[in-house]
Every structure is written in structure tokens, then in C-alpha cells.
Structure 1
Amino acid sequence: MSRPTVVHLDTNALRHNLERVRHLMPGTKVWAVVKANSYGHGMIKALEGLSGTDGFALLDLAEAKVLREQGWQGPILLLEGLFTQEDVFEALELGCDCVVHELNQVDWLENAMEARQSAQTLHPETLRVFLKMNTGMNRLGLKPASYREVFHRLHAVGFNVAHMTHFANADYVDRTPTVDQQLEVFQSTIAGLSGETSLSNSAAILWHHHLVQCDWVRPGIMLYGVSPSGKYEDIEHAQLQAAMSLRTKIIGIQHLEAGESVGYGSRYRTDVPIRIAVIACGYADGYPRHAPDGTPVWIAGPGGLSNGKICPIAGQVSMDMITVDITDMPHAEVGTEVELWGHYLPVDRVAQAAGTIGYELLCAIASRVKRS
């Protein structure tokens, strides 16, 4: 048989999660974030499941081109904006909106306007600018002291300028700057300026939707049914559904006596006789090599995955295989289905055990893994 490791992508879950965003932020337009190949889910599948969005937000022009080639005619936002002067013209050809977060990008837009206006081929209203303010995250964005000057520069040459910032700690209750503090800086800086506003990442949508009002929100990880905080309990509370399930099958069984070891480095040694399942997945498929003993794996029960239970990893994850203690599941055999994360086992739970975040696991799925 062909190798059974496969990623199942649920477009109905994507639709459901988008509706949860609209429920939490009624009347607000949605930029569905599809950067990093839609958080590892694939751009084409994401377009299918999220086609009801108001716009897509992504990182570069190559991703934007994929969406246009697939027939998407709505808005596309370049979240990191322009990387070179030449990007201005390709962005125009693809009909993209553009984040501006530093002064070189402002110069490029002004230069492009000057070069093209004489030829009457560039119309500023065809490229909407989202001017990004650094309100305390200190990653990208213009400081409030220079923000209004840049707004007037872009507005003066005819660009439609909207306002944007990004919250640093929307998923924390004890860290500064808080959402309130950043929001106060943002609102006081744009007071009296025209233009739409774009706020609220997934965390702000989930936990600050009563506080933060804006024209556009930018949900990312929550669209895929994963928590921005890394706490898998949040997903059930928010009524989100996992869009990705990484599944495989048991390909071998080992019966070990007390005192024997499992895998490279003999990391796991048995105290009592146990039964080990060898499953077809490893770090070359994107599963974290550093996952410790005890990391949960979902093994199907007699009635299939829906009747399954969690079993612990026992031994070092290798390139193509993981070993799991299935002593408590005597029915399991070669060919039994396994879910490494997804519908039955939240990716955040696996990430917590492995000392990472769900984002990383989703984005790390290797190209050799089949998708359905």
C-alpha cells in the first residue's frame, strides 16, 4: 500500500470559523489571513473554504498571484507591503492593497506616482494604502510622532489611506502594552483623519471584541480552528473547528519486556512489559522531533477514530516513524488509524506537550505529505 500519512483539510470547518468571526464582530469586514501557505493548509483549499470573506491578507505578490489565478477578484492586502520600488507596479497589476510601515515604502509610492502620472497610467485610487502605526509592539510601523505627517504625504498625492495597528498582548491579561493602552494611542493619533481602520488579530477578536471597534479585522490562526493563546480549551469555548487533521496508520507492533528500550538513543526504557505501535510519521513529515515521551497521540478504537483514545509517545521521534505505547489498547493492530492532531486531538495540546505552539506545527507539514 502507499504510505498512509495524509493531511485532511476540512473546508466546512473554515467556513464555520469565518462565521464565528462574523458572529463576534458583526458589521465588520474581514481580512482572512492566508500567509505561510494559509498556515500550512494550502492556498487553494483556503480559498475554497474562506471564499465568503471580504478580502484576503498575505505576505507577498507570489501568493497574491495564486489567488488571482484561482479566480479571486476581491481585495488582497499585502501585510508587509512593498519590498522594492518595482513591487508598486506589480501590486497595481494584481489589484492589491498595500500596508505601509516605513519611510522607504512612502518614497517608493511617491516616486511611482511621479513617474506614472505624466504618462497617465497610474491612478492612486486603484491602490489603497493601509498605514501601519507602531502603538507599542515595536515590530513594524511608524511611531505616532511621525504618523500624521506620513498620512498627509500619501493623502496629498491622492492615495486612499486607511489606518492600521497590531496588538502585542491581546492573549495576555498581565502584560503591557495592553489592548486598552495601544488602542488609546491609536485613536488619539488618528483623531480627525479620514480613512477606514483595521485592528484586531485573532486574539483581539476572541477576547476584546466588545472593546475594539473598527472597519476591518484580520483573523489568522482562529480561522483554522487553533488558539492564538496556545490553550486548547479556548477552541471549545470559542466554538471553533479544526480545519487540519494529520492522520496516518500503525505499520508495526513490538512487544517489549521490562528493561528493554525503544528507538534511537534508547531514551525510553520499560519498567513493565508493554506493547509499542510504530506509526508512519516522523520529523521529515513535519512532526516535531523534540516531542518528549508522553506527547499525546490519538489511536482509533474498535469503532474507528471517533471511538479512540489518547496514547503516549514512547521513544525518540525519528525521520519517518514515531513509537507509541498502546498497552491499554489491545485491539490496535497494523492498519489501525491514528490522528496526530486535528478533529479528535487539538493541535494546541500536542504543541503544549512538545514545548511549541500550534502555529509552528501547522506550518511545518512537509510537501511529501499527501493532502485530501
Structure 2
Amino acid sequence: MIPRVTATVNLSAVQHNLRQVRKLAPSSRVMAAVKADAYGHGAVPVARALDEAGVDTLAVACMEEAQELREAHLRAPIALLEGVLSPDEAALAAYEGLQVVVHAFWQIELLEAMPSGSNIAVWFKLDSGMHRLGFPLDAVPRLRQALARHPSWRFQGWITHLARADETGSSATIDQIAAFDRALAGVPGARSIANSAGLIAWPSARRDWVRPGLALYGASPLPGKTGAELGFQPALNLESRILAIRTYEAGEPIGYGASYVCPERMPIGVVTVGYADGLHRALPNGSPVIVRGRRAPLAGRVSMDMITVDLRGVADAQVGDPVLIFGEALPAEEVSERAGTIPYELFCGLTNRVRFRYLGGE
């Protein structure tokens, strides 16, 4: 069976990107974000590749994601970024030996209700300005008291999250780092601040731990930059194929809503990918794909199962030719910008109609 759309994930690129993270922050340990199915790249194979490459900890959002990795017998520790939501989850976290990122006092109460001697590892998350999750900065003394009450808890350290690290011209990140440091002045425990943008753009955010996500997949979190320009390797190529080629006369409309009208007699290629595969419907006319090494612009709206492209610049194109939607030769950063979104959403939006295959790894 010939797949309509294929996502080829290069696990060696993921491992290269981990090494690049370590070059940027050689004194830091690495907590790699593999939440959201490893940003759409496949949680288990990506986590296994990172584990083989010696990552220090894997980070997921929720218990279901942690269980998927545990069932795959990953050796690396696993951190639960949103913490536990119920007594059952607290018990399961202890049983699985997860690191629980605690962001609210009701979560502390869940852990305190566990039987004495339970295997509990905790991070405390502080809100230094993101204003999403986290304890207020003035709660640090109360949190230290909670640790003193429970000497059996294995304290991992203090975490905060940067809200505007991708805005290199803003002082907001400097302000967040300073607020975090003031709240923890003289307080023991490891610190973790930097996400991918913080790691790349803000050296002062590279503390005991860094928490890269997007950079591990080879894309840039900074506007106007590609991952390749920053030394990272794109890990995913999304490809489809030409299903049909037809020639239309000047003035003929193409696709839904006649959003594209042929300016001259021209060949139009029909490609088997659409928004049901995760390609954004917002991509405008002129957005490129790659056919036979050359750019072919979108001509007409993205539909559920197909796109139509202008093949005037690829006169030798044939039915069955592969079409790169985004990847190494067409950065996801460029495609997502044209769609008015970000690479994160492009990756995470791939659907179960896409056939995944994996290359490389150690």
C-alpha cells in the first residue's frame, strides 16, 4: 500500500540536537520535553533515542503520557510537568517513580495524604511572570516548610517558565529571571529556567537544568531564524505525492471558492495532502512545496484531502513524484509563518492519517 502522506523522522537529528543543547549549556543537565507525542514526532521512538543519547530526564505533560513511556521501558527519569490531579494519580506517580512538578498547595495536600515512606520526588514551580501555573514567589518560605515536614520527599529543585523568551528585544525575560533569583536568594536546591528560546537567546537562563522542547526537533523558537541557522537539524520531513497533473487555460479558477485564477495556460498538480492530515487550511496562495528540488507555489485553497500547486516552474513533474510539504529543504518555520502560526502547531497538528517512519538513532 502506497501511503498518501509520510512523516520521516530522523532520530539521529534528534540526538544531534541534544548534543547541540549540551554545547550551549555545558554545565546544565537536560530535561527534554517529549510531551504532546514528542511535539508530534512520536513520543516513544523519540524518547528512546534521547535515552540512548544520555538525556538526564524526560518531561511530559500528563499521567497518560508518562505511562506510555513507562510501558516502553525507558530508563531515563520522567517528570510530570502539570503534576498530579487526584489521589489515584499521586499513588501512581509514586509507584512509577515519577518526578512531580508541583504548582499549587492542593497538590501538596495530595502528596501529604500518601502513606508514609512513599516514593515521592518533587519539583516546585514558581510563577515569576508567566501567570499560568506556579506558586507565587512569596510562597517560598511555606514551600520550604512543607519540605521540612516531609524529609522523605526527594526534592529535585525549583522551576519557572519564561513567557517572552522569544522576544529578544524585550526586558521581560531579564525581569523574570531577576524575580526568580530574588525569591530564591540563599535557598538551596537546583534551578531550572530555560526553555528552548531561553536556552538559545538568554545565557543567564542556563542554570542547573535546561528544558528544551522545540530545539530538540530542529526548529527555531526565535522569529526570523531557522533551526538550521542555529546549529540544529530538522528532524521531520513531511512528504506527499502528485496524484494528477492537468493543464488549464488563462482565466480558469482552481479549487474551492475560486481563490486562485490561472493567469495563463498552465499545469496544475494535485497533491494528496490536506487539512485532514494536519496541513493548515490557512496557507495562502503562493505558499511553497518542493517538487523535484524546486519550489512549486500553492494555487488554490487547502482542502480536506488535497492541495493544488502551480507546476510552471517544474515542467518535468510527473504523477507519482514525491512532494515535500515541509522539512529539511523547506523549513517548518517558513511554512508555519505563512499559515499565521508557529512550528509547534504545525508539528502537533499532524493526524493519524500520516504514515510515520523512523531513521537513524544510535
Q: Which amino acid aligns with 1:157?
A: H
Within 5 Å, give how 1:28-43 maps onto structure 2. Answer: 28-43=28-43
Q: Which amino acid aligns with 1:253?
A: I
Shift of 1:230: 4.4
Matched, 1:346 2:341: no
Which deviates further from its counterpart, 59-68 or 262-271? 59-68
Matched, 1:277 2:272: no
Shift of 1:255: 0.5
- Give the match for residue 182 of structure 2: 188
Within 5 Å, give how 1:206-285 maps onto structure 2. Answer: 206-209=200-203, 211-231=204-224, 233-285=225-277
Higher relative contact order (CA 8 A, sep 6+): 2
Matched, 1:165 2:154: no
CA RMSD of aligned residues (A): 1.4
Shift of 1:61: 1.7
- Give the match for residue 131 of structure 2: 138
Cα separation, 2, equivalents of 1:7 and 1:309 = 20
Within 5 Å, give how 1:280-295 maps onto structure 2. Answer: 280-295=272-287
CA contact (8 A) 2:255 2:301 kept: yes
Shift of 1:229: 2.5
Cα separation, 1, equivalents of 2:329 and 2:206 = 34
1:206-232 Cα shifts (integer Å, max 9, x gaps): 1112x224211100010001111343x
1:225-270 Cα shifts (integer Å, max 9, x gaps): 1111343x33222111111111011110011111001011111111
Q: Which amino acid aligns with 1:266?
A: A
State the secondary structure of the residue aligned to 1:106. Answer: helix
Any unmatched runs of 5+ in structure 1?
301-307
Shift of 1:4: 3.2
Q: Which amino acid aligns with 2:188?
A: S
- Give the match for residue 104 of structure 2: 102
Cα separation, 2, equivalents of 1:329 and 1:298 = 10
Matched, 1:309 2:309: no
Cα separation, 2, equivalents of 1:221 and 1:74 = 19
- Give the match for residue 304 of structure 1: none
- Give the match for residue 201 of structure 1: 195
Identity in percent: 37
CA contact (8 A) 2:83 2:103 kept: yes
Cα separation, 1, equivalents of 2:141 and 2:284 = 51
Any unmatched runs of 5+ in structure 2?
358-362
Normalised TM-score (structure 1): 0.92
CA contact (8 A) 2:294 2:313 kept: no
Shift of 1:155: 3.3
Moved segments of 4+, more than 6 Å: none
State the secondary structure of the residue aligned to 1:356. Answer: coil
Q: Which amino acid aligns with 1:10?
A: N
Cα separation, 1, equivalents of 2:72 and 2:88 = 24
CA contact (8 A) 1:78 1:99 kept: yes
CA contact (8 A) 1:9 1:45 kept: no
State the secondary structure of the residue aligned to 2:70. Answer: helix
State the secondary structure of the residue aligned to 1:50. Answer: helix
Cα separation, 2, equivalents of 1:127 and 1:234 = 40
Which deviates further from its counterpart, 43-52 or 85-94? 43-52
Normalised TM-score (structure 2): 0.94
Matched, 1:365 2:350: yes
